[in-house]
Amino acid sequence: MSQYAALRANVGLLGTQLGDTVRNQLGPALLERIEQIRLLAKQARAGTEQQDQQLKQILASLTDDEILPVARAFAQFLNLANLAEQHHTISKDGAASIEKPQPLQELLTLLKSQQVDVEKTRQAVADLSIELVLTAHPTEVTRRTLIYKLTQIADCLAQREQDLTAHELARLDARLSDLITQAWHTNEIREQRPTPVDEAKSGFAVIETSLWQAIPEFIRELDEALTPVLGHGLALDAAPIRFSSWMGGDRDGNPFVTAKVTRQVLLLSRWKAADLFAHDLDILGNELSMNPANAALQAAVPGSTEPYRDLLKVLRGKLLHTRDWLTEALKHDRLQRPDDLLWHNQQLLEPLLLCYHSLRDCKMDVIANGLLLDTIRRAYAFGLTLLKLDVRQESGRHTQVFSEFTQYLGIGDYAHWEEPARQAFLLNELASKRPLFPRNWQPSAEVREVLDTCDIVARHGAEALSTYVISMAGKPSDVLAVQLLLKEAGISFPMRVAPLFETLADLTNAPECISKLLGIDWYRGYIQGKQEVMIGYSDSAKDAGAIAASWAQYSAQEALVAICQQAKVQLTLFHGRGGTIGRGGGPAHAAILSQPPGSLAGGMRVTEQGEMIRFKFGLSKLAQRSLALYASAVLEGVLLPPPVPKPEWRALMAQLATTSCDAYRAVVRHHPEFVPYFRAATPELELGQLPLGSRPPKRNPNGGVESLRAIPWIFAWSQNRLMLPAWLGAGSALAEAVAQGQTALLHEMRAQWPFFATRLSMLEMVYLKADAQIAAYYDEKLVPEHLLGLGAQLRSQLSADTALLLQLIDRPDLMANEAWIRESIMLRNTYVDPLHILQVELLKRVRHAPETVNDNIKRALMVTIAGIAAGMRNSG
């Protein structure tokens, strides 16, 4: 029996159910046509030219009435196939076929084999600090209402694995049919773009439906795995993994994220936390009915015969009162906050811990370590604010504040001052005890918005907020400016302020910037020995190509670690990764282990964005596994750090970076036909019609490719399967190294240096996902004749690069040693291929005969975009 038989059986089951739904709703003729298309796509993948041509002819001949249901059928099937795959990774049948089925146990076996000192392990566990930052970048194409149905379908698949009677199995299959029919009759495309508040609510939904259960289960799993090794369990207040959010706080280039929106999201986050903890206490109230209590608990509820239940009843009442007040506060711009609200996490924890210690003192450990402990773990991980919010703003907006202000004072224009003058002004004001801005100053609306945001930050405090991220930061004054704005707003806590280094030039300059910043006495005193720096993966890759960007990221991190160690400052690196290889994505375990030695010592923050949130955390058991993968990778990186690169590795890597960057930019920046080719060969212009995220797709609506956000840039190339940003330049650089006789050194780097091995592994995955034949079809039907040469050149380059990589890794096929990833990609290809061909046909109609385009055609085009994104998985 194949190790993937269970997966294929579930895919087949869901496909059959979807087919039955289509037959029942639209008749057998349409289902027959869909099945004909599926079989032809499968045969065409096997290399049959005749079937390939027949497939294209059938799809091109679909009527306006047929085209939408056909597109929807294949798009819906891909969602179901993804779900079956997610379920497979956490099912008993999947353990034999997936990578790292038990990551924590594998880590402990590795540590034992490497004879890692137990005390070192104990310290690494105590210091373990991972913060996953949920972001709402516009790549999550599946609506929340459909996600709910998909989650219910996953529950049915899990139940089908039990020992069921024929009747029970029939009832489950009827429920599956019910859910799939519901999904079929639900519009998979939003009518309107989500607002930032909608995006935040999606984040809360992930907490409620998955992570609320996954966090205590993961900590319990970690505790049980470590206890035999360390001789004791985790501390009661252990929160090795926490969650934060950018949803409602990320205003960089998003005019819809205002101070008012940020306030609303902060209050909604508290509302959801109060609601979830109140539900927990409902259950605990039923459970903790016992009478024996220690003196501390008896003193808290004197004379009570059910002290645990009575204490928690009071706590629940306070949570409900707080939730009611928050309901009213959301309706008003300002509402006086009464003193009797639950606002600080200690107010929640004190009664819970009182019950816990009393149960332990009264020898009821088994009860204390049950559901009560789960709630305590949640209180430490989520708290009364549920998700800590980051604020992100572009450095130029802060410059604008001081530019307007210095001009108002008549002392010149801050925007035109040199760096020393800016620092002198900012440090002087930071040391001053008087207010900075006079009451009669009337700033512009843009400046007022920045000041209002800082006011919101100051009002909501350290428990609700995490880091203020400054995008496009490059100088110490960019950080000092934010410190001064927060001071002026009356902030009462030392909020972390993280410069974000994004482009190739920014990353190269990052060590000098941080070194100068740490040389400022006032700043060193303020940060209290802790510095956070964010590394941008998306824009650096868009700027220089994947290889040059990854080396710049590695080099910057390495230098920052050394600078902070010398300054005796604890560095936390914040990784702004996306879902795709072109945006720093890929398997998290490999990515973490490929970082420079020492870079994990101060903990780790990393963004989880768009559709990857659902793929990693959408189901509770899946989330638990994802958390275990993160924890095991970080612990391994700390306890068994990768080697420091040899000088000859560095020299060759620097050469590869330079060559690849030149090759990448020669096409993307300097080829005169590139921009028109890009816009003809991909649905880049049409992506703007898809109501995905709240942010505009461009920073500058009138700009070219340089102003396009990294996400739609990647998204567009994944739609035509050329996957250009993730590989362009890399093969040229490797070919040059081989031509120079450096093949043996490349083999050595791959064998001994995780950073380089991961780069090649990521390229392998990209080449497997890319498809030159599909990209050629887009060109054939959509690209003007005078631009066809560039497309042919790029596909030829892709073919040569793929062949070279296979030669370097000495394998006959891509991902031959990663059977699970290969199976996953191949499984979906049969269903993605018809969507590509349909998309080409729809783009042709939309572009060449816009007057004939009806709502069916427009919607079908959006469905193909969403369906291909689902099929490609990490699309943005």
Nearest Cα residue to 322 out of 307, 335, 309: 335
By three-state DSSP, how is residue 388 classified?
A: strand
Give the pairing of strands 388-394 and 530-536: unpaired
Distance, in Å, from the CA atom of 668 to the CA atom of 697, rounded to the nearest integer, reads 19
- Which residue bears the tokens 């307007």? 404
Three-state secondary structure string covering 550-617: HHHHHHHHHHHHHHHHHCCCEEEEEEECCCCHHHCCCCHHHHHHCCCCCCCCCCEEEEEECHHHHHHH
**Contacts of residue 749, Cβ cutoff 8 Å, sequence gap at least 6:** 649, 652, 653, 756, 757
What type of residue sits at position 758? T
Tell me which DSSP letter residue 787 carries: G
Distances (CA, A) of 650 to 552, 734, 753, 756: 12, 15, 11, 11
Structure tokens that stand for 558 in this block? 């390495």
Distance, in Å, from the CA atom of 677 to the CA atom of 658, rounded to the nearest integer, reads 25
Distance, in Å, from the CA atom of 740 to the CA atom of 778, rounded to the nearest integer, reads 36
- DSSP characters for 411-475? S--GGGS-HHHHHHHHHHHHH--S-SS-TT----HHHHHHHHHHHHHHHHHHHHEEEEEEET--S
Nearest Cα residue to 726 out of 693, 691, 759, 685: 759
Q: What is the dihedral of CA 331, 335, 337, 342, to 10 degrees?
A: 10
Nearest Cα residue to 709 out of 841, 851, 610: 610
Distance, in Å, from the CA atom of 452 to the CA atom of 466, rounded to the nearest integer, reads 18
Angle between helices 49-60 and 28-45 (to 10 degrees): 140
**Span between the terminal Cα atoms of the chain, in Å:** 36
Distance, in Å, from the CA atom of 293 to the CA atom of 88, rounded to the nearest integer, reads 45
What type of residue sits at position 679? R
Structure tokens that stand for 271 in this block? 């509302």
- DSSP characters for 683-712? -HHHHTTS---SS-SBSSTT--GGGB-HHH
Q: What is the dihedral of CA 857, 860, 861, 867, to 10 degrees?
A: -170
- DSSP characters for 604-653? EEEEEETHHHHHHHSSHHHHHHHHHHHHHHHHHHHHSPPPPPPHHHHHHH
Instruction: Give the start-end residues of each E strand in 366-409.
Output: 388-394
Given a contact cutoff of 8 angstroms between Cβ atoms, the answer to whether 275 and 211 are in contact is: no
- Which residue bears the tokens 């003809």? 680
| CB atoms closer than 10 angstroms to residue 58 | 16
Three-state secondary structure string covering 479-543: HHHHHHHHHHCCCCCCCEEEEEECCHHHHHHHHHHHHHHHCCHHHHHHHCCEEEEEEECHHHHHH
Residues with catalytic roles: 137, 542
Nearest Cα residue to 875 out of 681, 753, 710, 689: 710
Distances (CA, A) of 308 to 313, 345, 628: 8, 19, 33
**How many CA atoms within 13 Å lie on the side-chain side of 850?**
2
By three-state DSSP, how is residue 214 classified?
A: helix
